[in-house]
Amino acid sequence: MLGILLIAKPQGLTSHDVVAIVRRRLKTKRVGHAGTLDPQATGLLVVAVGAATRFLQYLPLEPKKYTAEFTFGVATTTFDGEGVVTKEGPVPEDLPARVLAELPKFQGLIEQLPPMYSAVKKDGKPLYHYARQGEEVERQTRRVHIETFAPLGYDGPIGRFEVVCSGGTYVRTLANDLGEAIGCGAYLSALVRDAVGRFRLEDAIALDDVAEDRLMPLSEALPPMPLVQLALRETHEIRNGQSLISGDRFTAKHVALVDPAGAVFGIASVVEGNVLQPECVIPK
């Protein structure tokens, strides 16, 4: 059993909770996910089952697309509604105009400081370990790319935004930093992940619907990575770690290798355009 599941994660569950449920329903231990969603967030979670977990790194998982709700006038320790209030301030009457004036600072390549309440590790321990003990430790900024950060509408102090960004972006931090820039504070009050790369929330299934026949094969999940059909002899050579010289030339860095039965069994890196060097292979 192997393949990809697109799961619509409900509110209140961690990404690990989702993995545990999938393991129980499919009666298999080998399950992993791509891109953590906070418990209060909902939306698309990409889950791999069986040997497909080895292929997560090759899936087209960027950019991420979110619909986010920010509540202005309040800041919290966690940058979301779960934390302790650290600041309250009057919301400007011209909030939409003030937001538009500040948004350019948060678009394109930016440096983002991970929140203390996050799983980013410092000296082998997640930052939230220190935060729960009341400690604030030095953190390294990370470079992220914000492709789209656009307001969708306002209801009093609450603004809704479309965010399209690279992996590793904390939308909670965008909310907090935008609130700081405006001066009144803000926190992330709701978040829905609408898309991960070319995978869409509308194609996801509920946890109650998880079943083996809902698994997406790797041949469907990996494109736009090229699929290369191999003969039986070539399949055997690849599984033995040998490189192949292809009659085709590729501009892609990787190609998916397909066995004579039509199933993806490996990934090869492309050397000099036509040499296929096995990088990740499912044993026979």
**Residues noted as catalytic:** 38
Could you give the angle at the alpha carbon of 61 between the alpha carbons of 57 and 65, nearest 5°? 155
- Please name the amino acid found at residue 238: I
Burial of 92 (0-12, 13-18, 19+ CB in 10 A): middle
End-to-end CA, the chain: 14
Tell me, what amino acid is at 6?
A: L
CA distance 133 to 169: 25
Q: How many CB atoms lie within 10 A of CB 68?
A: 22
The crossing angle, in degrees rounded to 10, of helices 171-182 and 95-102 is 110
- Starting at the edge strand found earlier in the chain, the sheet holding 227-229 runs 227-229, 254-258, 264-271, 275-281, 244-245
Structure tokens at 95: 């909030």
> Which are the contacts of 239, defined by CB distance < 8 A and separation ≥ 6?
265, 266, 278, 281, 283, 284
Token pair for residue 111?
A: 């440096």
Q: State the alpha helices, DSSP H only, in the chain.
A: 15-26, 95-102, 127-132, 171-182, 218-221, 232-239
Q: What is the largest CA-CA distance in the chain?
A: 71
